[in-house]
Every structure is written in structure tokens, then in C-alpha cells.
């Protein structure tokens, strides 16, 4: 059994806006918010959760597992953020937002694993059922143009705590999910293994409106999700595989139903992948490679101001991933990876920032990224390590009108370990590089600076 309580309160900071195709060149601590952020710009959440797992083995061939979890959480988020930019006047117009949300729900998963032999082949069959229900009570307010500030030297203005005007959302939603799935992992021959599975999800959402002249809405989706895979292992050092999977995400799963999304079909994700893994240096190191195509149909994005879903179209990502990890001897270890992604919108009628989204690269997705980490154990107690993380340029918005430059950061660590005590010092962004680490994805004016040089000391005691 497991119980959890979390209380978190922090500054709500949506980052910095853009100017002439780039994030505004200001210090990472520049704040486009209110004059009293402690009072006006904060996000406070409380999460209470309770869960348990029950397992029973009927025999070596039959095992039952049940997992249950109940969660009750609240969110009180208040923010001042950049809604639009006037490049000619070099000013930013601020938007005021309030989100209050109270959610509770349960999730139960029951699985039965059976090992058996059929037609001379070993099978491991997984039978599963999932049931869940969630209630979401939310009130959302938004008010544009509450203040205007300088784009390059913002002076925090006084803003109303509660956004004016009618709420953009005021509803009680109920989500119900019932799912069943079956999966079989079978040894076809000495060097061949296969996996095949299918899942059915029944998802229903009801949205009860409190706003005047706004209708109650509902939607029901039922979808089948297949997956298949084949593995060839000619020996213990080599493994080659091919896989295909398909899954669905209903339109109302991440945001409340509204008139503009109740008829939107579920998002469909298909992934086709082939890859290989080779062991080197007598098993002390391994190298892996994968080539894949990931396609998302009927994708949506969330408007940062209204929290409404916006239909975007179809995104296709062709990618290559390479990894190498190993123990090089004398206490040296290395982990590294490289990814190349070509993520494009291949079907869309949407426009963003005056540009057609069709043919544009997916926002916040770098074409290239890589990382390497090397550590050295000096003896059984002391060690140190350092590494690089490199990310290529990305676009901040679907229209690709704002570019987030690529960056490379350097991290390091040192540790002391004994049977009872463990002490580790981590140094992040060692060279104090200024960079943009992320963005909202649907807006060009919500770009988040990366953390400056920082240190973290962790101490653990075992008894």
C-alpha cells in the first residue's frame, strides 16, 4: 500500500516573448509579469493519493496482479503572460489568467499472466482489464490587454487579481474509461521471438456547463489499438527487431469539451520501427540503432490563453537514434546517444502567425540532438563524471516564424559512497550558458530560458 501527499507553490512564469524571429535578447531573469508576483502570479497545487497492489501466484504458470490508485488534487494557477507583441512600438501586451481546478478519480488495472506451450512453442499471454473514472471541476478566466510594457525593459505593472469578463470555462466534466487487452509473447524458434497484442478502449466524457447559454456536451469514442513485433537473435551478442503499434487519444482527454472540439476525432498515433542491438567487449558495452516513422493524425494543440483545443492536422516524424554505452575498464564508463528527427506537418489547413502550417517543421522538435556522459570510479567509494548535452535549433510555434537557437550545456558530478552514506554533488550548466530550453509550442511568445549555473548536493543515509 502507498499513500502520498504533495503541496507545491511556485511562481507562474511563462517565459519571454519574441522579436523579429528570435526570443527577446534579455537576461534569463527578466519577468513579464505583475508588480506583486507573490500575490498575483503563483501556481499552488495539492495532491492526495492512495494506492495498493495485490499479487497472487496460482502456480509457476499463472499469476494474477491488481493495481488500484485513487487521486484527489487541486490547482490554483494565476498568471500574467505576454499575449501579443507590437514590434514597431517594441512593446508587449499582457494577458491576465486564472485557472481553478478540482479533480478526483480512481484507476484500477487487473492483469493475468499465463505461461503455456502450444504447437510446440512457448507462450506468455497477458490478459488485462482497466477501469477508471475522473471528475474535473474547473473555472477558467482570461483578460487580454491588462497592461502594456516595454519589450526589452519591462516594468512590472499593477494588474487585477481576477481576470475580468465572463469565464472562458466553467464546467464539471466526467471521464469514464473501460479497456480490455490481450498480448502474447511467443518463442517461434530458437532465434525468433514475436509479440502480438490488441487493446480496446471505450472513452466517454460528459461536460456539464454552468455558463449561461452554453450547452452541455458529451462524446463517446471506442477504438482498437494493435501492436506487433518480431525479434531475431542469431546469438547472444546480436538482436534485431521490427515493430508496429497504433494508439488513440480522445479529443477530450487533455482539455474540457467545447463546441469547437466535441466533433474532433481522436488523435491517432502510428509507429513503425526497425532496430538492432550489438554487445561488444565481451558484453561490457553495447551499441544500438533504430530507424522509425511516427505519424500523428488529427493532432491538436492547446491555446495557452483559453485552454481550448485547436485542430492542427497530421504530423509525420522520420527519425534515427544511435546509442552507445559501456564499461571501458579501469573504472571508466560512458553513455552516449544521438538522434536525428525530421518532423513535419504533412496535412493541415491551419494557419499560425500568418503562415500556413502545412509543410512546416513541428515546433519544439530539434532536427539533431546528442549527449555523452563519462564517469570514472577512482575506487569503491569515490568517483566523478562530466558530460555534454547538445540540442539543435527548434521553432517556437507551428508557423515556424520564431527560431529557438541550438545550445550545448556541460554538467559534472562527484560522489562518495559507502555502505551507509552516499553524498553526491551535481553541477548543472557548468559554463553558465544562456539559452532557451523550451516553449509552449502553440505560441511564439512563451519561451522559457534555461537555468543558469546551479549546484545540487544530495545526501542519503541507509539504516
| Residue 262, number of CB atoms within 10 A of its CB | 16
Q: Indicate yes or no: pTM above 0.75.
A: yes
425 shares a domain with 314:
yes
Among 149, 167, 185, where does a domain finish? 167
Say if 217 falls within a structural domain. Answer: no
Dihedral sign for Cα atoms in the order 377, 238, 247, 181: negative
pLDDT per residue as tens digits for the range 31-63: 999 999 999 999 999 999 999 999 999 999 999
Can you tell me the distance from the alpha carbon of 409 to that of 432, in angstroms, rounded to the nearest whole number? 8
Overall average pLDDT of the 264-291 stretch: 93
Domain enclosing residue 290, as ranges: 265-463
Identify the band that residue 446 occupies on the pLDDT scale cut at 50, 70 and 90.
very high
| Residue 199, number of CB atoms within 10 A of its CB | 20
Q: Is the pLDDT of residue 166 over 70?
A: yes
Say if 90 falls within a structural domain. Answer: yes
Identify the band that residue 270 occupies on the pLDDT scale cut at 50, 70 and 90.
very high
295: CATH:
2.40.170.20
Give the E-state strand segments of 152-307 in sequence order. 169-189, 192-209, 217-235, 238-249, 267-280, 285-302
Among 167, 195, 222, where does a domain finish? 167
Question: How much is the pLDDT for 265?
Answer: 76
Cell output for 459: 545526501
The length of the chain in residues reads 463
Residue given cell 527548434 in the structure block: 394
The domain tally of the chain equals 2
Q: Is the pLDDT of residue 300 over 90?
A: no
Can you tell me the distance from the alpha carbon of 45 to that of 37, in angstroms, rounded to the nearest whole number? 17
Cell output for 80: 500574467
287 shares a domain with 402:
yes
Q: Give the percent of the chain with pLDDT over 70.
A: 95
Overall average pLDDT of the 2-19 stretch: 95
134 shares a domain with 28:
yes
Overall average pLDDT of the 259-264 stretch: 56
Say if 246 falls within a structural domain. Answer: no
DSSP letter at 281?
G
Backbone phi, psi, residue 15, to 5°:
90, -155
Instruction: Give the H or E element holding residue 126.
Output: strand 121-150
Say if 230 falls within a structural domain. Answer: no
3-state secondary structure of 447: strand
Within 8 A by CB and 6+ apart from 76, the residues are: 42, 43, 44, 45, 99, 100
Say if 253 falls within a structural domain. Answer: no
Amino acid at each position: 500500500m502507498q499513500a502520498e501527499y504533495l503541496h507545491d507553490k511556485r511562481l507562474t512564469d511563462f517565459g519571454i516573448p519574441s522579436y523579429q524571429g528570435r526570443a527577446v535578447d534579455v537576461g534569463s531573469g527578466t519577468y513579464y509579469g505583475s508588480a506583486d508576483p507573490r500575490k498575483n502570479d503563483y501556481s499552488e497545487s495539492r495532491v492526495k493519493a492512495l494506492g495498493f497492489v495485490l499479487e497472487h501466484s496460482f502456480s509457476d504458470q499463472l499469476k494474477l496482479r491488481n493495481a488500484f490508485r485513487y487521486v484527489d488534487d487541486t490547482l490554483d494557477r494565476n498568471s500574467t503572460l505576454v499575449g501579443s507583441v507590437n514590434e514597431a512600438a517594441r512593446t508587449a501586451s499582457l494577458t491576465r489568467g486564472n485557472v481553478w481546478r478540482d479533480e478526483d478519480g480512481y484507476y484500477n488495472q487487473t492483469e493475468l499472466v499465463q505461461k503455456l506451450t502450444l504447437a510446440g512453442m512457448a507462450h506468455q499471454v497477458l490478459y488485462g482489464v482497466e477501469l477508471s473514472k475522473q471528475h474535473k471541476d474547473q473555472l477558467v478566466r482570461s483578460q487580454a490587454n491588462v497592461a502594456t510594457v516595454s519589450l526589452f525593459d519591462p516594468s512590472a505593472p499593477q494588474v487585477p487579481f481576477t481576470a475580468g469578463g465572463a469565464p472562458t470555462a466553467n464546467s464539471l466534466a466526467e471521464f469514464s474509461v473501460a479497456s480490455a487487452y490481450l498480448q502474447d509473447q511467443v518463442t517461434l524458434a530458437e532465434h525468433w521471438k514475436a509479440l502480438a497484442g490488441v487493446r480496446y478502449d471505450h472513452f466517454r466524457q460528459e461536460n456539464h456547463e454552468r455558463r449561461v447559454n452554453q450547452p452541455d456536451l458529451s462524446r463517446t469514442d471506442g477504438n482498437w489499438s494493435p501492436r506487433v513485433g518480431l525479434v531475431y537473435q542469431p546469438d547472444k551478442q546480436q538482436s534485431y527487431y521490427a515493430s508496429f503499434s497504433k494508439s488513440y487519444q480522445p479529443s477530450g482527454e487533455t482539455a474540457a469539451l467545447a463546441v469547437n472540439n466535441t466533433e474532433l476525432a481522436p488523435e491517432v498515433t502510428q509507429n513503425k520501427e526497425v532496430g538492432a542491438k550489438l554487445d561488444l567487449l565481451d558484453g561490457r558495452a553495447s551499441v544500438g540503432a533504430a530507424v522509425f516513422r511516427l505519424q500523428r493524425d488529427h493532432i491538436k494543440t492547446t491555446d495557452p490563453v483559453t485552454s481550448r483545443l485547436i485542430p492542427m492536422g497530421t504530423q509525420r516524424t522520420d527519425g534515427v537514434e544511435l546509442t552507445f554505452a559501456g564499461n571501458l575498464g579501469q573504472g571508466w564508463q560512458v553513455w552516449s546517444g544521438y538522434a536525428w528527427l525530421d518532423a513535419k506537418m504533412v496535412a493541415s489547413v491551419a494557419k499560425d502567425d500568418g503562415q500556413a502550417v502545412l509543410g512546416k517543421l513541428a515546433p519544439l522538435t530539434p532536427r539533431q540532438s546528442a549527449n555523452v556522459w563519462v564517469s570514472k570510479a577512482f575506487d569503491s567509494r569515490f568517483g566523478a563524471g562530466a558530460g555534454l548535452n547538445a540540442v539543435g535549433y527548434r521553432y517556437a510555434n507551428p508557423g515556424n516564424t520564431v527560431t529557438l537557437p541550438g545550445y550545448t550545456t556541460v554538467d559534472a558530478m562527484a560522489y562518495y559512497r559507502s555502505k551507509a552514506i552516499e553524498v553526491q554533488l551535481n553541477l548543472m550548466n557548468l559554463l553558465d550558458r544562456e539559452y532557451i530550453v523550451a516553449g509552449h509550442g502553440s505560441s511564439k511568445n512563451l519561451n522559457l530560458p534555461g537555468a543558469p549555473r546551479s549546484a545540487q548536493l544530495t545526501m542519503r543515509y541507509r539504516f
